[in-house]
Amino acid sequence: MTVRTAEVRAYNTRQRHILAGRTLPSADELLRLMPFFEDSIREDVLEWAKGEIACLERLDPPERQALLPFQGLLNDLEDSDVVGAKLAQRIDVLMLALAEEDREGRLRCSVYRAALGQHESMITLACNAATALAASAETSAELTLADFTLGWAALGWLAALATDDTFVPLSDHPRPERLESSTDTALWHGRAIVRFLSGEAPPKVLRRQNYRDEEIQHRDAAERKHWLIGKAGGALEEDLVAEWLGMSLPELRRYAEAGDLIAVDMDGRTVYPAFQLKNPTTILHMRKILSVMPIRDPWMRLEWFLTPDAALDNETPWDALQAGRQQDVLDCARSYGAE
């Protein structure tokens, strides 16, 4: 099974525009696990709410039943203290106010609710993706990238549900691994399952090893490297990374040689610590940080990202980056290894 190169390029271009904040993803794109606006569910909901309020304010009063819920949602979004559960409650109220025929709006709300961890919405998205994929299978003669992404979504959201501790498998198989967010979990497992079903080799991941920090100090260099890879979420083989980035292997190697990604030698082969490839936004941040770092040794760079730093309030640079402290991490990177 192959997907035309033009489709992949168009898909990657659309992703870049969404992540750069140049365009808001459609509900259908969100269903197919495209990224949120600027890779932030909060920014995505905010931009959508602003646009919907502007449209509703031009309508006659009888058609404005969703205006107040949208305004309440917008007020909450502009308060930086409002997160998680309260935001989910606001979206629940809004969904009840949307007209039955507003399928675009209701689908968006389902995506937001699923991303915030609501099981019912995960099931809704899996069913919607499966419905669209079944319709395509009945009417299309050729597999498209849209079909692949619908497969990722349908299977991925079911896998995300299966990672929950409330689910107890009746088979002997262990639950899938839960990633940092529901959306990341759905995308990762959905892609992996579709790759497997399409006959591709599964990604080779060096799994985490549960060594305590204090024990590592007494282990040899090889053990230390395995521990670092575990802290980085595992390592990915070159072919998988090239596919994920839409590059050829020579392009990827040039990218790594330029210092734009961390590539390390592990047991005689080149692998890429997985944490830096979480999503396109993370890749862009990593490239910027690595570009100002005087130290060039990839293992030293990896260790720096995963070691608590007093300048970052004893957070690791990686944790600080995920917390939104990009400038602080950049400042620390500039001084790492400098005379």
Please write the tens of the pLDDT for every residue from 7-25.
877 887 888 788 878 899 9
Number of domains in the chain: 2
Residue 214: is its pLDDT beyond 50?
no
Question: In this structure, is residue 179 part of a structural domain?
Answer: yes
How far from 180 is each of 12, 22, 35, 111, 333, CA to CA, in Å?
23, 26, 15, 17, 24
Q: What is the pTM of this model?
A: 0.62
CA pair distance 5, 10, nearest whole angstrom:
9
Question: In this structure, is residue 204 part of a structural domain?
Answer: no
93 Cβ neighbours under 8 A, 6+ residues apart: 69, 72
Do 153 and 220 belong together in one domain? no
Do 327 and 259 belong together in one domain? yes
How far from 12 is each of 58, 206, 246, CA to CA, in Å?
35, 27, 8
CA pair distance 151, 156, nearest whole angstrom:
8
Which pLDDT band holds residue 123 (cuts at 50, 70, 90)?
very high
What is the predicted pLDDT for the residue at 221?
66
Question: In this structure, is residue 42 part of a structural domain?
Answer: yes
Do 49 and 179 belong together in one domain? yes
- The answer to whether the beta carbons of residues 235 and 267 sit under 8 Å apart is no
Residue 315: is its pLDDT beyond 90?
no
Is the pLDDT higher at 191 or at 212? 191
CA pair distance 242, 75, nearest whole angstrom:
42
